Amino acid sequence: MEKYDQFEQLLSQALSSTAEPSEALNQKLKCRLMEVKVMKPVRKRITVALIAAVVLVMSGSVFAFWQLLSPKQVAENLGDVTLAKAFDSENAIQINKSITSGDYTFTLLGITSGENLSDFKSSAQDIHPDRTYAVVSIARKDGSPMPEISDESYGETTFIVSPLIKGQKPWQVNIFTMNGGYSEFVFDGIMYRMVECDSIEMFADRGVYLYAGTGTFIDNQKVSYNEKTGEITINANSKDAGVLFDLPLDVKKSDHEKAEKYLNELLNPEPESITSNDR
pLDDT tens per residue across span 77-105: 999 999 999 999 999 999 999 999 999 99
Q: Are residues 205 and 120 located together in one domain of the fold?
A: yes
Q: Are residues 62 and 182 located together in one domain of the fold?
A: yes
> What's residue 272's pLDDT?
63
Q: Are residues 62 and 190 located together in one domain of the fold?
A: yes
Q: Are residues 78 and 23 located together in one domain of the fold?
A: no
Residue 2 in any domain: the answer is yes
> What's residue 174's pLDDT?
98
Residue 55 in any domain: the answer is yes
| CA 96 – CA 99 distance, rounded (Å) | 10
Q: Are residues 147 and 92 located together in one domain of the fold?
A: yes
Q: Are residues 156 and 60 located together in one domain of the fold?
A: yes
Q: Are residues 14 and 84 located together in one domain of the fold?
A: no
In the predicted model, is pLDDT for residue 64 greater than 70? no
Q: Are residues 62 and 32 located together in one domain of the fold?
A: no
Handedness of CA 195, 198, 201, 206 (dihedral sign): negative
Residue 277 in any domain: the answer is no
Q: Determine the structural domain holding residue 23 and report its residue range.
A: 1-36
Q: How many CA atoms lie within 13 A of 27 on its CB side?
A: 3
Q: Are residues 83 and 151 located together in one domain of the fold?
A: yes
Angstrom CA distances, 267 to 9, 35, 43, 47, 261, stand at 13, 21, 34, 42, 10
| CA 77 – CA 75 distance, rounded (Å) | 5
What is the average pLDDT across 16-25? Answer: 46
Number of domains in the chain: 2
In the predicted model, is pLDDT for residue 75 greater than 50? yes
Q: Which helix (H) or strand (E) holds 213?
A: strand 208-214
pTM for this structure?
Answer: 0.77
| CA 236 – CA 75 distance, rounded (Å) | 34
